[in-house]
Structure 1
Amino acid sequence: MDQTSLLDQLRPNLLPEPVSYWPPAMGWWLIAILLITGIAVAATFLVRHYRKNRYRRHGLRKVQAIYQSYLNHQQKRQFAHDCNRLLKAVALQAFPRQKTAQLNGQPWLDFLYESSGNGLFKQTAAAALGAERFKPDQEPDVELLHTLTKSWIKKHHA
């Protein structure tokens, strides 16, 4: 007999069935559970952080509106009053009412300094936010007040 004829008599090789991707091994299930849990925890943290800082975003929009209003009317003392009112409103959102509602004058400026750490609240330009804003000869530095107000809203530590 010829060798080629013997080979022709063999049945073809049977290949095993391909490995299935489903169901995955136990390790993949654990990785999926950990990944889903991690995403849920991160999403919860981000949503809480976003909601917790809603008052800051609103305050920053209000600062811009106050500044635009100032550019129209050019009244520096009114701008100082509006900035002070906004800072008080934001402080009442972030801090206990008993701590902030009664503050005015120098204690108010001290509070703004302590809660932000911004040394500019100790200088004369920020005095326009205290009792100085009621003096008739007071001419506040609008640009500095605008910067201070935005900075405090963004960076205060509640």
Structure 2
Amino acid sequence: MTTVNPLTNLKDIHLPPAISWWPPAPGWWILAVLFILISVFIVCWLLRSYQRRRPRIEALQLLKDLKSQYKNSHSALSTLRALSQLLRRTALSLSKHEEVASMQGLEWLQFLDKTGQTTEFTRGVGNIFGEDLFRSEPDFDLEVLFPLVGKWVKKCPYQS
């Protein structure tokens, strides 16, 4: 009797096909969608943050330009009026238009004090931005007003 070797009847093992990289598993799809959503959210947040800071940045640059113009020309009265315009324009761009546009005198100074978290406008050197601004020869020191306006621009809160 001949014994047959049982191993001769075995066939090779068939390997499954290689796992393809496309299409990805559902978990990867979810991760990709989350990544896109988070990226869009971050970009929108950064743009909005920049748009909110832009008036403040531009106002500080204008203040710097006014200071250098004053040092070159020594035109105190025109620089004082330009500082007043800068305060008004910055307040209009950072606050609600209807409440700021009509303010004048003591009401305007109180608004500047409240938003700048100071009392320098009603009780200090910033009082010049009230009614005294329109005198022909007001008494003021611009070297003290530049830092005051700069501090106000930095502290004035953004209100939508």
Q: With structure 1 as the length reference, what TM-score do the two structures score?
A: 0.76
Identity of aligned residues (%): 27
Alignment CA distance shift 1:22-1:143 (3 Å) = farther
Aligned pairs, number: 148
Is the deviation greater in 91-100 or in 35-44? 91-100
Higher helix proportion: 1
Aligned to 1:126: 126
CA contact (8 A) 1:77 1:138 kept: no
In the alignment, what sits opposite 1:78? 78
Alignment partner, residue 29 of structure 1? 29
SS at match of 2:108: helix
Q: Which residue of 2 aligns with 1:60?
A: 60
Change (3 A) 1:129 1:20: same
Give the aligned residue type for 2:148: L
Q: Mind listing any 5+ residue stretches in structure 1 that lack a counterpart?
A: 1-10
Which one-letter code corresponds to 1:113 in the other structure? D
- Aligned mates of 1:59, 1:118 — CA distance in 2: 19
**Structure 2 CA distance for partners of 1:37 and 1:80, relative to 1, 3 Å:** same
CA-atom RMSD, angstroms? 2.7
Aligned pairs (5 A) from 1:1-40: 19-40=19-40
Q: What residue is the counterpart of 2:4 in the other structure? A: none
Q: Write the letter of the residue equivalent to 1:145.
A: L
| One-letter amino acid of the structure 1 residue matched with residue 137 of structure 2 | P
- Aligned-pair CA distance for 1:83: 0.7
**Structure 2: segments with no counterpart, 5+ residues:** 1-10
TM-score (ref. length: structure 2): 0.75
Structure 2 counterpart of 1:143:
143
Do the aligned partners of 2:70 and 2:76 also contact (CA within 8 Å) in 1? Answer: yes
Change (3 A) 1:12 1:98: closer
